[in-house]
Amino acid sequence: MNTETTPSINESLIHETLAAAGPCDAKRIEEILAHARKLQGLEAEDVAALAGISDPELLGELFHAARDVKEEIYGRRLVLFTPLYISNLCGNDCAYCAFRSSNREIARRSLTQTEIESETRALVEEGHKRILLVAGEAYPREGFDYVLRSIDTVYSVRHNDDGIRRINVNVAPLSVDEFKLLQQRNIGTYQIFQETYHRETYRHVHLRGRKTDYDWRLAAMDRAFQAGIDDVGVGVLFGLADWRYELLAMLQHIRHLEKRFGVGPHTISVPRLEPATGSPLASQPPQPVSDLSFRKIVAILRLTVPYTGIIMSTRESADIRRETFALGVSQISAGSRTNPGGYSEGHTNSSAANGQFSLGDHRGLDEVVRDVADLGYVPSFCTGCYRLGRTGADFMDLARPGEIKKHCDPNGLSSFLEYLLDYGQPETLAAGERCIATALAEMSGEPLRRAEVMLDKVRDGRRDVYC
């Protein structure tokens, strides 16, 4: 790879930027927030200044600005998905993870294709349309072909002429040739986290295995883009290093991708370190992130990269998740299990102990959907953009001028109604109908016309309606 375009993190510059931010200046903060409302993003100096806010009034202004930017771009939609863990085999020894190779406290398992089919069927029967396929960073004897076969299996499962419509993938960093094979499997987003961008911390918590190579992991997104995958998802495991440092480092990574490939990540995930079986470090984070700081992280990211989706997982409690919806989160997992076999075989205490980390939100999909609707958000199961080629730069070309809402709002409503009619419990159906009526009342013009036509088609029995 050309070393001139290889990503790197300038740690000295990050420390200088944080030091230069100095004490919080109210006038400066107001100027930054005014600029952020123009939907043009923020730079490192702005992020450092916002990270230093402690005054309650300024915090309120930060959160209000994040809400306005989120609703301007994404409206009231929240995309729902769930992870599907196919294996907890791993060749890495990561101090924070239950799947670490040295951990003898969990049962190791790699699902067979028949078992993956059963897991998928359980998810489809619950109403899921989007999944994130996850595997530990080691595979059975067939190697990476195991992942490719598993994708094929998931897509092949049908129930009442329904199935999983889009698979996003979180697996070990790949070579360009392997990424090309993955791209040919019709995936959505390829997702992988650097975990921490702080090199010394990274070395300290990654003890053995291929994952000890910081630079190989950092360059994974470059290789994915080179292979033709134009939707990628990055993230940080907050709690390993100073969260302010992590934000500035991730911004450097994003700007590198934008400069080299013309588009940054499609999503950013914001997991916090949670307890994990066999991992003392996970229960005592080196740099714990408070709930207030966590809310600041979400809000700052929304203002900094306004067109990038922010993902909130079930690591967090239902209450924390609710608080972040208005701060910038646009995608959430629901009804999650983090152990192979967790959906088709039930969620017992013993199976939960074999999961990758502890869950904070144990609610099922229907309960989450009802809660989201009652809060005034539209639960969306839409996969239209992926399937119509609106990905990468094409997505951003529509998102930046605000055109993407003309597709996403109607698609979100039609996919939501489909869920309600086919899978929703009576109280969820009632809450959903109220939510849809409110959303329609706030729409006008062509998006409203599209939504009404698509909703009529769904009520008439059509399924998988999108534009």
Cβ–Cβ contacts within 10 Å for residue 248, how many?
26
Would you say residue 287 has pLDDT above 60? yes
Q: Residue 315 pLDDT > 60, yes or no?
A: yes
One domain for residues 408 and 347: no
pLDDT number for residue 407: 83
Question: Residue 188 domain-assigned?
Answer: yes
The number of angstroms, rounded, from the C-alpha of 236 to the middle of its chain's C-alpha atoms is 11
Number of domains in the chain: 2
Last residue of a domain, one of 330, 349, 380: 380
Per-residue pLDDT tens digits for 126-135? 999 999 999 9
Based on the domain organization, do 426 and 327 belong to the same domain?
no
Task: Let me know if residue 219 belongs to a domain.
Answer: yes
Q: Taking a C-beta distance cutoff of 8 angstroms, is the pair 138, 74 a contact?
A: no
Tell me: do 153 and 302 sit in the same domain: yes
Q: What is the pTM of this model?
A: 0.95
Q: Phi/psi of residue 309, each to 5°?
A: -70, 140
**How far apart, in whole angstroms, are the C-alpha atoms of residue 391 and residue 382?**
14
Let me know whether 209 and 105 are in one domain. yes
Asked, for residue 465, whether it belongs to a domain, the answer is: no
Q: Would you say residue 21 lies in a domain?
A: no
- Asked whether residue 352 falls in the same domain as residue 417, the answer is no
User: Do 95 and 145 touch, CB atoms closer than 8 A?
Assistant: no
In three-state secondary structure terms, 168 is: strand
**Is residue 437 predicted with pLDDT exceeding 70?**
yes
Tell me, yes or no, whether 237 lies in a domain: yes
pLDDT (tens digit per residue) in 53-82: 999 999 999 999 999 999 998 889 999 999
Look at residue 354 in the predicted model and tell me its pLDDT.
78
* Cα gap 463→352, rounded to integer Å: 34
> Cα(282)–Cα(17) distance, rounded to whole angstroms?
29
Average pLDDT over the chain reads 94
Residue 1 scores a pLDDT above 90: no
| Same domain, residue pair 347 and 454 | no
Residues 356 and 411 in one domain: no
Q: Is the pLDDT of residue 397 over 90?
A: no
Which of 345, 380, 415 terminates a domain? The answer is 380
Question: Which CATH number fits the domain that encloses residue 152?
Answer: 3.20.20.70
Which of 141-145, 317-321, 415-419 has the weakest average pLDDT?
141-145
Whether 41 is in a domain gets the answer: no
State yes or no: pLDDT of 348 exceeds 60: no
Q: Are residues 370 and 404 in the same domain?
A: no
pLDDT band at 398 (very low <50, low <70, confident <90, very high): confident
Cα angle at 217 between 212 and 223, to 5 degrees?
150
Domain membership flag for residue 27: no
Res 22: pLDDT: 85
Mark whether 353 and 425 lie in a shared domain. Answer: no
Local confidence band at 464 (pLDDT 50, 70, 90 cut-offs): very high
Average pLDDT over residues 414-420: 98
Task: Encode burial over 44-79: b for 16+ CB neighbours within 10 A, e otherwise.
Answer: bebbbbbbbbeeeebbebbbebbbbbbeebbbbbbb
Supply the pLDDT for residue 350: 47
Could you read off the pLDDT of 162-191 as tens digits, one per residue?
999 999 999 999 999 999 999 999 999 999
Calculate mean pLDDT across residues 331-335: 97
Point out the domain boundary residue: 352, 380, 408: 380
Residues in the chain: 467
195 and 76, same domain (yes or no): yes
Assess whether 281 and 322 both reside in one domain.
Answer: yes
Based on the fold, state whether residues 313 and 448 are members of the same structural domain.
no
Establish if 43 belongs to a structural domain: no
Quote the domain boundaries for residue 408: 399-459
